[in-house]
Structure 1
Amino acid sequence: MQNTFNQATFHTICDELAARDPDMKAIIDTYGYPPMWSRYNTFETLVHIILEQQVSLASALSALNKLRERIQEITPARVLLLTDEEFKACYFSRQKTAYTRYLAEAILSGQINLHEFEAMPNNEIRSRLTALKGIGNWTVDVYLMFVLQRADIFPIGDLAAVNALKKVKSLPSGITREEIIEVAAQWQPYRTVATMMLWHWYLSKPKKS
């Protein structure tokens, strides 16, 4: 049985984290509950997450919308018909064009079956997805958290989550990756929900002008 969460359990888990950790309680007290971010288990969603690698969410969405405008439905078969120039017109870099094609080919060949992932353990999903060029741990973390609602993921490669954790916990800027993972371990078995609370804090906190 996979450790997951859903709309019905999300606030209860937030409350449990708040009861265990005063810093989590302060986030809810100040900004309310975080949104329960979720996405469909589709090829389009994985393309969207690939587009989000190392760029702003707004520019990733803009490229995704441009691609949808061009081919209507974002499916593996349709993206494989596009030329490099057509991808470029949709704001895809050369690398992301290649990554999207690798993923489309893997799905069409049956190497990757997204619906089978729903019953698979996290480590098995991670090893299958990271075997594809252009998909690393951050992409898999976001997929597990947003799409499969796996409850206990801390995305150590996510700058916003890590920076929020450092600020919320008043940690030294030179703290190591291993130490951050150790701090996040206190939120087991709900590190995903704790991360959503950190993102919520990061997005809600007034920005310095």
Structure 2
Amino acid sequence: MFSKIRVLRTIIYFYVAIYFKIYASMIHLETPTEFSFEQTLRFLTRNQKECLHFVKNDQVFKTLSINNALVLFAISFDSGLQISIHSEQTDEKNIKIIKKYVSDWFDLEADLKTFYEVAQNDSVLKNLCQKFYGLRMIGMPDLFESLIWSIIGQQINLNFAYSLKEKLVQNFGQKLIFKDDVFYALPTPEKLASLNIEDFQPFQFSKSKAQYILNVSRAFAEGHLSQEMLAKLPFEEIRQKLVAIKGIGNWTANYSMMKSLKNYDAFPVEDVGLHNAVKTQYNLPAKPSIKELHSMSEKWAGWRGYATFYFWHSLLG
């Protein structure tokens, strides 16, 4: 009799534990009124070779390395963002890290109302804001990631850049398998810093691009550069510290400042995609010069980075 009771109690405890484990792995994140998950998914699915997140059935799957362990989570939308963790690491500390990461990734703290007010000064940008209402800058919370990605993308077309990124991540990054799907995390600065130029050669990286990746990776791995360090500095000091590293120019610095450091006025004015989008949206006979873009951007002051992101988004059609 007592044996049966103990067995029954064990079974009940087992299922209660499972219930609370599932419950604990579910996170709800409130979203502002000016937020569009539809536009977010549209941006996140812009290239099939993207390897650091995966979109399936309107869910965004992402792998993070937290305390040297890979954590997989999925994001969906239902009156706010619903985040489900598909790993064992569901303690309160990790949940807090994931919530902050998603909030930064989707830029939930940005005052989009102010950006939309600024956009009223420019009829073309105003129309884009109406068309893509609720689109927030999809950032890269990890500064190292944005620097590596922007170096990869220097002076090549976007499809080839995604191909190189895929090779870098799949050959040197960490991976996690869940339900027969493989999810990847970006290689750590330490991992990339341990490589040589020759290690990149089989994957179509030019010698200069490989060297630039090594320069940035070693700066992070050796403690000469960190996101926390730069976040405390004013705009121009950040830019100067970044461009002091060989391989980081004005475009790369501004790209990473807007995508990772939340500097909404950072302006990658040399960007070819921006030039093409502005030419199309303003119905210009030719692509604008850098000088012309600087002049045009005076109407976007304080939000040049956000304006750039909306012009990039217009290239998706």
Q: 1:59 to 1:10 in 2, by over 3 A?
A: farther
* Structure 1, gaps ≥5 residues long: 205-209
Could you state the TM-score of these two structures normalised by the residue count of structure 1? 0.83
Percentage of matched positions with identical amino acids: 30
The equivalent of 1:154 in structure 2 is 267
The equivalent of 1:207 in structure 2 is none
**Higher helix proportion:** 1
Counterparts of 1:111-150 in structure 2 under 5 Å? 111-150=224-263
2-side partners of 1:161 and 1:10: how far apart?
A: 23
2-side partners of 1:6 and 1:32: how far apart?
A: 14
Q: Secondary structure of 1:7's partner?
A: coil
Q: Secondary structure of 2:315's partner?
A: helix
Q: 1:56 aligned to 131, 152, 157, which one? A: 157
- What's the CA shift for 1:198? 1.1
Counterparts of 1:146-185 in structure 2 under 5 Å? 146-171=259-284, 173=286, 175-185=288-298
Letter of the 2:154 counterpart: Q
Q: Aligned pairs, how many?
A: 200
2-side partners of 1:66 and 1:167: how far apart?
A: 33
- What's the CA shift for 1:137? 0.5
Q: 1:34 to 1:54 in 2, by over 3 A?
A: farther
* Structure 2, gaps ≥5 residues long: 1-105, 175-186
**Higher strand proportion:** 2
Q: Which has the higher contact order (CA 8 A, sep 6+)?
A: 1
Q: 1:84 to 1:165 in 2, by over 3 A?
A: same
1-side partners of 2:172 and 2:289: how far apart?
A: 44
The equivalent of 1:38 in structure 2 is 139
- What's the CA shift for 1:108? 2.8
Counterpart contact for 2:264–2:306, Cα < 8 Å: yes
- What's the CA shift for 1:17? 3.2
User: RMSD between aligned alpha carbons?
Assistant: 2.4
Q: 2:221 aligned to 108, 112, 123, which one? A: 108
1:59-106 C-alpha deviation (Å, 9 max, x unpaired): 223222322222234122212333433212233211111111111222
- What's the CA shift for 1:157? 0.5
- What's the CA shift for 1:143? 0.1
Return structure 1 stretches of 4+ with deviation > 4 angstroms: none
1:195 has 2:195 as partner: no
1:12-48 C-alpha deviation (Å, 9 max, x unpaired): 2442134332212222344544452200224233211
- What's the CA shift for 1:52? 1.0
The equivalent of 2:65 in structure 1 is none
2-side partners of 1:164 and 1:92: how far apart?
A: 28
1-side partners of 2:165 and 2:118: how far apart?
A: 34
